[in-house]
Chains A and B, each alone.
Chain A
Amino acid sequence: DTEVTQTPKHLVMGMTNKKSLKCEQHMGHRAMYWYKQKAKKPPELMFVYSYEKLSINESVPSRFSPECPNSSLLNLHLHALQPEDSALYLCASSQEFAGGRDEQFFGPGTRLTVL
C-alpha cells in the first residue's frame, strides 16, 4: 500500500467553527507532514512530525493545531479560521532513517473554504 489518504475531500466552515482534517498512511513511514497550498503556488510546509513528535512548526498560527495520535495517523484541528486560510491542505509522509528513501508521498488533499 503506497497510498496516503485524507478526509474529508472538501470542507466548508464558518469562522467560529471547529473542524478537523485527517490523514492516514500504512507504509510504515515515521515522518508525516502538513502543507498548505494556495492556487497556482507550490505547497508551503506547516508542520513536521518525526516518530510521532512535532519536530518542525513553521510559525503557523495557533488556530491550526496538529496532532499525531499514532504512527499512521495525523490530524489537523482547525478553530477560528480566517477566510485567507482557504486553501488545499496536503498531508505527506516519508521514511525517516539515515539512508532511507527520502521522497515524500502526498495525499489528495482537503479543499478548505472558510466563509
Chain B
Amino acid sequence: GNSVTQMEGPVTLSEEAFLTINCTYTATGYPSLFWYVQYPGEGLQLLLKATKADDKGSNKGFEATYRKETTSFHLEKGSVQVSDSAVYFCALSRSGSARQLTFGSGTQLTVLP
C-alpha cells in the first residue's frame, strides 16, 4: 500500500535559518506529491505540489523536488520567518476517482525571533 514517512519533529529554528523537512514515500505507479501546512487553529492549506518525476514545486519561498530515484520530496526554505511556524504535512495522491490522500505524520516547526 501507499505510505509517507516524515522526519520526526518538533523542529525549532532561529529566524533566517535554513529549513529542511525530509519526506519519503512508498507507492505504486506515479503518485502526485504535496506539502500541506496547518497554522494553529486552522485547516490545511496546500503549500506546493509536484505531479511527475523531477518536477519542482515552489511557493512562498518553499521548494520541494519530486525525486523518483530516491522516492523523496523534501521541503526546503532558505530563510525561515516566525510566521512559518506551523505543522507541515507531506502527502501523496494516486490519481483516479475520489483521489485519496495518504499523509505523513506531520512535522511541527517553531521559528524563534
Name A residues whose Cβ lies closer than 8 Å to a Cβ of B.
Answer: 4, 6, 31, 40-43, 45, 48, 50, 55-56, 88, 90, 92, 94, 96, 98, 102-109
Contact = CB atoms under 8 A, between A and B. Distances in A.
B21 to A, nearest CB: 14
24 contacts: A4-B43, A31-B97, A40-B106, A40-B108, A41-B105, A42-B103, A42-B104, A45-B100, A48-B100, A50-B97, A50-B98, A55-B97, A55-B98, A88-B43, A92-B44, A98-B96, A102-B93, A103-B32, A103-B34, A104-B46, A106-B43, A106-B45, A107-B43, A109-B42
A50 B100 CA distance: 12
Interface of B: 32, 34, 36, 42-46, 49, 51, 87, 89, 93, 95-101, 103-106, 108
Given A40-B106, A42-B104, A42-B106, A104 B99 contact: yes
B43 A103 contact: no
A58 to B, nearest CB: 10
A40 B108 CA distance: 8
A103 B49 contact: yes
Contact of A108 (B42, B51, B87, B100): B42
Contacts of B46: 103-105
A109 B39 CA distance: 12
A43 B42 CA distance: 13
Contacts of B44: 43, 90, 92, 106
B95 A98 contact: yes
B98 A104 contact: no
A104 B46 CA distance: 8
Contacts of B36: 106
A93 to B, nearest CB: 11
B108 to A, nearest CB: 7
A3 to B, nearest CB: 11
B100 A56 contact: yes
A5 B51 CA distance: 27
A106 B37 CA distance: 11
Contacts of B95: 98, 102
Contacts of B101: 43, 45, 104
